């Protein structure tokens, strides 16, 4: 079965949902913004102090809870379910699974980048050995890297990037699966299942969301108060569509 969704319909759905539920949406957005402001103040006032480090750690933990809660609210709005602002602070067990699933997905994305970087580095060292020479008076000189060496490094970097993007798309829905009751590893497996066959469309969707938020940032950053919740709800809507098609 081919699972699909409409990018245009998802953005439109996000816009109308934000407009129709503006009260709770902007409560969530202002909470996220307030957390960022507090973090910036702490970093400026208490930088390089033990109290500053402790406060930053506490704020990071609070950020994980609120991030998970914001995703819960976005998913409920995408499904047309009743939600309330107090759900921005979920149960710690749900937050733990949400956090751990995100960490595992991030590690999976980082692995090909790490491997690609090491291969590129080793290729560079191997090439460098052929470039070192000594001129008269034993002066050390370096020649230019060969075109083949440069091409090899570029190819390795591109392959690593493509694999990392593929893995990011594969596990892009894992956080929503956690909120639907999946275990940590199970969320990754389920995300891989429902994103099968639609990765190119997810790339296009990601590009559209990126351009939307760039536009929001251009509008004196005020536009982000609208584009960020639209993006969150549109993403939750896409997840709901993919999951529904998979279980149909």
Domain boundaries, the chain: 94-195
Which of 81-95, 138-152, 162-176, 232-246 shows the lowest mean pLDDT across its residues?
138-152
Q: What is the pLDDT of residue 116?
A: 85
Q: What's the pLDDT tens digit per position in 162-181? A: 999 999 999 999 999 999 99
Q: What's the pLDDT tens digit per position in 182-199? A: 999 999 999 999 999 999
Which of 13-17, 63-67, 139-143 shows the lowest mean pLDDT across its residues?
139-143
The neighbouring-strand residues paired with 134 are 140
Sequence-separated (6 or more) residues with CB below 8 Å from residue 35:
59, 62, 63, 66
Average pLDDT, the chain: 87
Helices (H) and strands (E) in the chain, counts: 9, 2
Q: What is the pLDDT of residue 223?
A: 84
> What average pLDDT does the segment 20-44 reach?
92
């Amino acid at each position: 079965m081919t699972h699909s969704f409409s990018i245009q319909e998802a953005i439109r759905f996000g816009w109308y949902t934000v407009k129709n539920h503006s009260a709770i949406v902007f409560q969530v957005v202002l909470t996220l913004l307030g957390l960022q402001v507090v973090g910036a103040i702490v970093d400026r006032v208490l930088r390089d102090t033990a109290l500053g480090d402790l406060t930053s750690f506490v704020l990071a933990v609070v950020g994980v809870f609120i991030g998970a809660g914001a995703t819960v609210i976005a998913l409920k709005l995408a499904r047309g379910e009743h939600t309330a602002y107090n759900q921005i602070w979920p149960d710690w067990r749900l937050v733990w699974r949400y956090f751990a699933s995100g960490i595992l997905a991030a590690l999976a994305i980082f692995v090909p980048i790490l491997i690609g970087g090491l291969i590129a580095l080793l290729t560079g060292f191997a090439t460098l050995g052929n470039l070192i020479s000594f001129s008269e008076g034993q002066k050390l000189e370096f020649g230019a890297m060969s075109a083949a060496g440069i091409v090899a490094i570029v190819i390795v970097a591109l392959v690593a990037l493509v694999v990392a993007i593929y893995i990011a798309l594969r596990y892009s829905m894992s956080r929503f699966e956690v909120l639907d009751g999946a275990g940590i590893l199970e969320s990754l497996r389920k995300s891989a299942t429902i994103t099968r066959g639609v990765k190119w469309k997810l790339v296009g969707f990601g590009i559209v969301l990126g351009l939307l938020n760039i536009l929001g940032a251009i509008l004196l950053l005020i536009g982000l108060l609208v584009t960020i919740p639209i993006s969150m709800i549109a993403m939750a809507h896409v997840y709901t569509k993919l999951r529904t098609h998979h279980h149909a």
